[in-house]
Amino acid sequence: MEELVEKVFVIGLDSAPPELLFNRFSEMLPNIRRILSMSTHGPMRSTVPAITIPAWAVMVTGKTPGELGLYGFRHRREGTYNEIWIPHSMAIKEPTVWDYLAERERRSILVGIPPSYPPRKVKGIMVSCFLTPDRSSEYTYPPELRGEIERLVGEYIFDVVFRKEDRDEVKERLWEMTRRRFEVIRYLIEEKDWEYFQFVEIGLDRVHHAFWKYFDENHHLYPGRNAYESVIPDYYKLIDEEIGKTLKLIDLNKTAILIVSDHGVKAMKGAFAMNQWMIEEGLLKVRNPELLKEGKQVRFEELDVDWSSSKAWAWGGYYSRVFINLKGRDPEGMVNEREYDKVRDEVADLIRGIRGPNGEKWENKIFYPELIYPKAIGDRPDMLVYLDDLNWRAAGTLGHGTNYLAENDTGPDDAVHSEYGVFSLYLPGSEGANNVELTIYDFAPTVLKLFGIEVPLRGRSLV
């Protein structure tokens, strides 16, 4: 098959929503607007769950979270209730876009694509993602690249701590991280050989979570006119400026440009205490209920759970993972395998019936992994739950005076994820814009087709 372009350059903006990038902020982002004006673009439906990990891995492999065995940022260790493992690059067993390209001797430069720690051997260059523990870790392939990066920018910043009260510090660190990352990107563009270049900037996700209530006048915690209300628009301007400087280094007559995000964002209306609710419903039994009446927030791990009488428990997060206490799988499982489907359906029905703090009907969505994925390997939950269509996040903690929390229970956080990210494809010679709706599964087939490669994957190519 004939190659359609010489090079592909992918701009990954974690959490960029179509509502802001394509519409509300469009006029103040001249460089992004210029690319969009020559591209096929539109909202890109994310995966279930609409979470950074596994979404970026889904995008570059064309496989579902079930096929990858990645259901979020943490996974339960088999045979335990509370032991977890964090996804890492070695957990990705399916070939990525750059693996297919390497088979055709095409070189890739990959910066910050989750999950890419530890960095893997690739045909080209890899700089690991926000999961990197710290700069003392080996974070580049080849290893000697690390020295080049640090001579260029000093400390390379992988991420910022964004759930903290000192918003000035969060802002300062965000700007610093992004400027240094783009400086490294431009250095790699100019100094290294590549046919495929993809980077992911995590900063948009962090600025949304840290500053959304200061920006969104409809947010229930909006404080009125405030010192931080322009932080989100200003950060988008920073991204646009950096993209503008970067695109000056790229030959648009030979290079396809993609702008993509893994999911969108929207205001968080509050958090719902799932395990506290489960105790009220009789699904979860504890031997130390007095702990919950002491007026302090407690973690699930602090409970003395009577597993022999408990049918289910939950994890918190932007979505919730619910587990059935299954005999033969869980250490003290009490639900027999023959009753599993019935019990799970009963728990799902109860969750669907959860209403809002004022009795309003919620659009609670339940997903059974084996029904939404062709297969579901690894440490899968028994169900994934979107509370009120992701308008509310799930709190894993207990001991609250109400199940409805005005704020996140793990630190300041004003936003949740939404199901649509962005997609934009510029091809050399394109004039004018086209609108398209697509899914995250269409990314890999499209990129591969640009290089004349066709692989049977779930999605479709747009070219």
For the chain (length 463 residues), average pLDDT per consecutive 10?
A: 93 98 96 97 97 97 97 91 92 97 97 97 97 94 97 96 90 98 98 98 97 96 96 98 98 97 97 96 93 84 94 95 96 97 98 97 97 95 97 94 90 92 96 94 98 95 95
What is the token pair recorded at 378?
Answer: 């690894």
**What residues form DSSP beta bridges with 256?**
8
pLDDT value at residue 291: 84
The pLDDT of residue 229 is 96
Other CB atoms within 10 A of residue 18 CB: 21
Q: Is 458 exposed, middle or buried (0-12, 13-18, 19+ CB in 10 A)?
A: middle
Which of 55, 63, 70 has its CA nearest to residue 374?
Answer: 63
Q: What is the DSSP letter of 335?
A: B
pTM value is 0.95
User: What is the C-alpha separation between 424 and 417, in angstroms, rounded?
Assistant: 20
The H or E element containing residue 125 is strand 124-127
Helix residue spans in 37-166 (DSSP H)? 52-61, 65-68, 97-103, 145-153
